[in-house]
Structure 1
Amino acid sequence: MLRLAVLLAWLAPAPLMAAECETIAFDGADFTACRVDMTSETLRLWLRDDEGEILGSFGAVDRRLRENGETLGVAMNGGMYHSDRAPVGLYIEDGEEEMRVVTSEGPGNFGLLPNGVLCLNDDRAAVIESRHYADTRPACTHATQSGPMLVIEGELHPRLLPGSTSHYVRNGVGVADDGRTVWLAISDEPVNFHHFARLFQERLATPNALFLDGNISRLYAPEMNRNDFGWALGPILGTVRPAD
């Protein structure tokens, strides 16, 4: 009987691991960073409900998931959007492209080239420079475009200035070399682009990282009793876990 119990335990599927979030003090400012293991967690994007209406909040995504016995794990705003909350650049959800990739330079942070694309598949992720994405067209189950890139092949974006006085609460995403570890990070106080990019380069050691937004940045991390309040969102990036 003991041998049978051990065998059944060995054959049972491994439990899904939850993203681990921690507060990090880095160069005089506090940040919250959440580590997602793509081999044991589902990281994806949401924008609209079945009627085509934009979900717009962590609560709306969670309610949608609970209809199927799932719940929202860690989440944050997942890319820039227009006043109607439609994506500014490339947006793919469940393999369906809603908005094309934008490769031209333009106004604002999004147009501060190079910008980039977060590409998500079942067990791997990548942050890809937008023009390289347009040239190669890799398969992505989910994808969101934003900008600027923060870290590009290990180097900081050349137009991010250490002495910039533009300080906002900012959030972004970085992917480790192996493509299986993803970091979702948000500053817990206003910082400039250069400071935020260095968090990904030096502390989180992600060779490619992408700015998602600033000022409207929000984090949902129930294990930290955190559900940031704010205006309705566009794309939402987060993990899925079984409901209790």
Structure 2
Amino acid sequence: LELFWKDAAGKPFQSLHNLHAAQQAIGRTMLFGINAGMYHPNLAPVGLYVERGQEMASVKTGSGSGNFSLQPNGIFYIRDGRAAVRATRDFVKRRPTVDYATQSGPMLVIDGKLHPKFQADGTSRKTRDGVGVRKDGVAVFAISNGTVTFHAFARLFRDALGCDNALFLDGTISSLFAPAIGRKDDYWNLGPMIGVFRKS
């Protein structure tokens, strides 16, 4: 599992289609891809972004508006081949050295509890994608087929997928590349993305 933002020429990949084609050109087969967090109009990550051990955007801890700043937000990261999701405040307190990381928000599940701002009768319904990590360390990704509330999406990760910690990645433009199940979404102007490949 790897994170991607820019190609070798320094230009954002912009779409899962472009990422797949670029990896295919160097002999790699992408098994799965999904957009990986929020980004600015220039496609730069809003918060922390680490790729191959290099920090390319700094962690954001201040307040603001929108889903990203609905505290607590969080960070999905890979360290020594193991995945984890942690609230940003906890990540910053005991910051690990990571190979890959992307910051987004809000957290969906924090240590087995739903985000405190989510309401069972909430009315905001959108397409959503996110990532959680099970107790055995397996990363689990999900994308809604239709519009869902944050509360329902968070319960999916906690109650159905067994994730004690899970993070919202994106909303309306949520994109999935999963040829094994017939999904090859082709939204454009995406920022950071996640790609999964078979171990060589």
TM-score when normalising by structure 1: 0.79
Deviations 1:113-149 (A, max 9, x none): 0000001134211001101111211111000000000
State the match for 1:5 in structure 2. Answer: none
| Offset at residue 174 of structure 1 (A) | 0.2
Q: Is the 8 A contact 1:175 1:208 kept in 2?
A: yes
Secondary structure of 2:152's match? Answer: helix
Query: Whose relative contact order is higher, 1 or 2, with alpha carbons under 8 Å and at least 6 apart?
Result: 2
Paired residue total = 200
> Which residue among 16, 26, 48 is the counterpart of 1:68?
26
- Whichever residue aligns with residue 140 of structure 1, its letter is V
Matched, 1:96 2:54: yes
Higher Rg of the two aligned structures:
1
Gaps of 5+ in 1: 1-42
Distance 1:67 1:121, change over 3 A: farther
| Offset at residue 228 of structure 1 (A) | 1.5
Q: Is the 8 A contact 1:47 1:235 kept in 2?
A: yes
| Offset at residue 73 of structure 1 (A) | 1.1
- Whichever residue aligns with residue 173 of structure 1, its letter is V
Gaps of 5+ in 2: none
Over the aligned positions, Cα root-mean-square deviation in angstroms equals: 1.3
Distance 1:52 1:238 in 2: 18
Q: Is the 8 A contact 2:35 2:169 kept in 1?
A: yes
Secondary structure of 1:223's match? Answer: helix
Matched, 1:156 2:114: yes
Q: Is the 8 A contact 2:17 2:186 kept in 1?
A: no
State the match for 2:139 in structure 1. Answer: 182
| Offset at residue 170 of structure 1 (A) | 0.2
Distance 1:242 1:176 in 2: 21
| Offset at residue 198 of structure 1 (A) | 0.3
Question: Percent identity at matched positions?
Answer: 47
Secondary structure of 1:207's match? Answer: strand
